[in-house]
């Protein structure tokens, strides 16, 4: 089952000739989530074969232009394409006014409902909790209200070992009991232990998105143990003071957060236009956290499925 991040836009406020502003697609088992919607987002999605119509939810980290300027074009195209499914948008306070302005001035056909979920929490808050995954908002520290997002697959149900079905001639009732984690007790007193006869088919995967933020205590705890971490790395060591003044992070800051969090892999992005070659930022991050990669347009970062064999 697919679990992957596609980085589309990895530039900060000023786009460059080869880098667009923030926009990313997270694909979890075919469910598409857009995280930030910078200028040109819909064009990048089309260029890389990502269906606009399959978007399930949009998560906007904050309301700076380089993270939202693409939303008008995207919403307009969805309407012109005849979307009817509701679109859920999670964004900080104030997005309702942006949405109202769009509807009043640019929306010719209102073919689908937009469900706006306002982000106001000052502590991590659950946004979505369904049968397959949870999504939480993570309050960050920026010049305006800003949020990261944590996506986690849920623990799967137990599977009964195929060898046990044959060996013990398990009945349907016994299989159901074992899959629910309960021991099955037969009429003759034989106890079939769920712990011995079942297994977890796969380990849940996780992804955290840390957009514009200053360094602060507690961030690494909020993303503890994630398989894949995307973290802004606007500046390099040469601009550490500027990063602090602007409530941004350096590549080294991002790597230190990944290290403290015990993340599996780190992807850095949101690069300042002053860096024509992002290789210098990648090298600085890898000095602290070797399993770091630099985001670029169309790059796909997969979190492989870790299955448990039926032994």
Asked whether 110 and 22 are in contact (CB, 8 A), the reply is: no
66 catalytic? Reply is yes
Task: Return the percent helix, strand and coil in the chain, to nearest 5.
Answer: 25, 30, 40
Given 36, 66, 212, 253, the catalytic residue: 66
CA dihedral (1, 296, 16, 92) positive or negative: positive
Residues 6+ apart with CB under 8 A from 180: 158, 194
Beta bridge partners of 300: 6
**Distance between CA 224 and CA 137 in Å, rounded?**
14
Which phi and psi angles does 234 have, rounded to 5°?
-65, -40
Over its C-alpha atoms, the chain yields an Rg (Å, rounded) of 22
**Distance between CA 78 and CA 284 in Å, rounded?**
40
Asked whether 243 and 250 are in contact (CB, 8 A), the reply is: yes
Q: What angle do CA 257, 155, 221 make, to 5 degrees?
A: 20
Which phi and psi angles does 304 have, rounded to 5°?
-65, 150
Q: Which helix (H) or strand (E) holds 195?
A: helix 194-197
Asked whether 20 and 11 are in contact (CB, 8 A), the reply is: yes
**Distance between CA 261 and CA 222 in Å, rounded?**
8
Which phi and psi angles does 279 have, rounded to 5°?
-60, -35
Residues with catalytic roles: 66
């Amino acid at each position: 089952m697919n679990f992957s991040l596609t980085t589309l836009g990895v530039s900060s406020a000023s786009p460059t000739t080869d880098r667009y502003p923030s926009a990313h697609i997270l694909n979890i088992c075919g469910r598409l989530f857009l995280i930030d919607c910078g200028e040109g987002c819909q064009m990048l999605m089309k260029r890389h074969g990502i269906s606009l119509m399959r978007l399930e939810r949009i998560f906007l980290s904050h309301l700076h232009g380089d993270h939202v300027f693409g939303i008008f074009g995207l919403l307009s195209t969805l309407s012109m394409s005849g979307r009817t499914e509701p679109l859920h948008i999670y964004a900080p306070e104030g997005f309702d006014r942006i949405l109202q302005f769009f509807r009043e001035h640019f929306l010719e056909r209102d073919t689908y409902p937009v469900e706006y979920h306002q982000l106001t929490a000052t502590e991590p808050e659950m946004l979505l909790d369904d049968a397959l995954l949870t999504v939480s908002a993570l309050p960050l520290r920026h010049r305006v209200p800003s949020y990261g997002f944590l996506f986690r697959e849920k623990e799967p149900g137990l599977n009964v070992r195929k060898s046990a079905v044959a060996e013990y001639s398990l009945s349907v009732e016994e299989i159901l009991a074992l899959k629910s984690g309960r021991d099955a007790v037969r009429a003759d007193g034989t106890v079939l232990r769920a712990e011995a006869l079942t297994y977890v088919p796969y380990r849940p995967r996780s992804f955290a998105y840390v957009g514009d933020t200053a360094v602060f205590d507690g961030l690494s705890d909020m993303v503890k143990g994630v398989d894949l971490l995307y973290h802004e790395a606007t500046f390099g060591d040469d601009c550490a003071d500027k990063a602090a003044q602007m409530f941004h992070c350096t590549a080294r800051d991002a790597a230190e957060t990944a290290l403290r969090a015990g993340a599996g892999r780190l992807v850095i992005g949101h690069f300042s236009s002053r860096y024509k070659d992002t290789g210098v930022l990648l090298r600085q991050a890898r000095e602290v956290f070797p399993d770091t990669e630099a985001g670029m347009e169309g790059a796909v970062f997969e979190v492989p499925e870790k299955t448990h064999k039926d032994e």
